[in-house]
Amino acid sequence: MMKRKYIAIATGMVLGTALIAGSAFVSQATQPEIPMTETAADAQAADVNIPEEVSEIPYDSEEGLSYSNVADLAEASMPAVVAITNKSVQEINSFFYRRSFQYESESAGSGIILGSNDTELLICTNNHVVEDASELSVTFIDDTSYPAQVKGTDPSVDLAVVAVALEDIPEETMSQLRIARIGDSDSLRVGEQVVAIGNALGYGQSVTTGIISAKDRTISVGSGSYSGVQEYEGLLLTDTAINMGNSGGALLNMNGEVIGINSAMASASIAENMGYAIPISKAMPILEKLMTEEPRVKLEEDKMGYMGINGQSVSREANMLYNIPEGLYLTYVAPDSPAEKAGLSEGDIITAFDGEPVVSIQDLQYLLQYYAAGETVDLTVSSNGDGAYTEKTVSVVLGDRSELE
């Protein structure tokens, strides 16, 4: 059996009492308004509709030669990196008092300015930086802060896009911003020097440097049990210091190009000087899609739809040993529920909800917060027949929660 190595997410440094947890906003794609390119190397933020006040990070020369030192690179690149503050409401259950308590938690992360549409400045970050947000704000290079909203997320790869309204940003601030130049992480070599910029420990921007230690690494992020564990593949490994608050920040090559999005660090009890970043060539096609999406709005509880199921996660080990698809294994389907009416039964495995990956009942519960009773949603479901799983699409009409009373 494969031995797991658990990694501590380099999420925002908790400024209050605890790290944020959970999933993020769920979005639906609309007709694209932002021009897309075919390769990540060509997916420059300049292809987006960018205000005249915002420009790309300049090269050291017109020929695009590498920066001669980290100080010059950092000075030119820091205006393209932002700090993100996430305020969320957390709930804990107290065995001693036999009740639950809610408290406001504040955490910090980083982001990278990618471009804009007609009304918004678009910033990429990690999903775990913005998940469960009740209030988001972005702080720019001039230390001014403005409200932000989540535009789209993909929890399966820990990516998100947040937006700040252009009308909220004064010209003085806009003139100091830069659009990040996008590089090609596929061409990276092990041993190549890189620079990380981000909101380390929530204290504001800082710069660290190191090398690419390895490519195509896989990590598991979680608490030690499978519940809540998420596996991420194809990551860059670097000895550049990536600390709490650096998540979502830029990993740059010596041309000042973003070649990775800083995401995680190895637990100090496991190893030192091991940080992980999402390769930009892998991230850009996903981010381009997220930049065009219209965010769903979280609904009041009495407006949310329901399915009438319960289940448990299929572990990575079960997937590998028994060829069971990863997803939510249904242990119960309520009689006459929306799920039963759609043809779901115990033993089925839900792998996606409206195109969003599902690996736990918590994933599904969070997604349902954005879908109203009466909506029809397509599920990707694997069913076991004759000893083999076959995948199909099942449409379910979400039920009204008042029916449960």
**What residues are labeled active site?**
128, 158, 247
E-strand ranges in 95-192 read: 99-116, 120-125, 135-139, 145-154, 159-165, 178-179, 181-182
* C-alpha separations of 31 from 173, 275, 292, 294 in Å: 30, 37, 7, 10
Q: What is the DSSP letter of 4?
A: P
Tallying the residues shown for the chain, one arrives at 405
Can you tell me whether residue 339 is helix, strand or coil? Answer: helix
* C-alpha separations of 201 from 79, 125, 331, 375 in Å: 19, 16, 42, 42
Q: Are 156 and 177 in contact (CB under 8 A)?
A: no
Distance CA 11, CA 102 (A): 21
Buried-exposed string 235-244: b where 16+ CB fall within 10 A, e elsewhere? bbbbbbbbbb
Q: Could you tell me which residues are beta bridge partners of residue 112? A: 81, 124
Report residue 102 as tokens. Answer: 């809610």
283 burial level (CB within 10 Å; 0-12, 13-18, 19+): buried
For tokens 């308590």, the residue is: 101
State residue 178 phi and psi, 5-degree precision: -135, 150
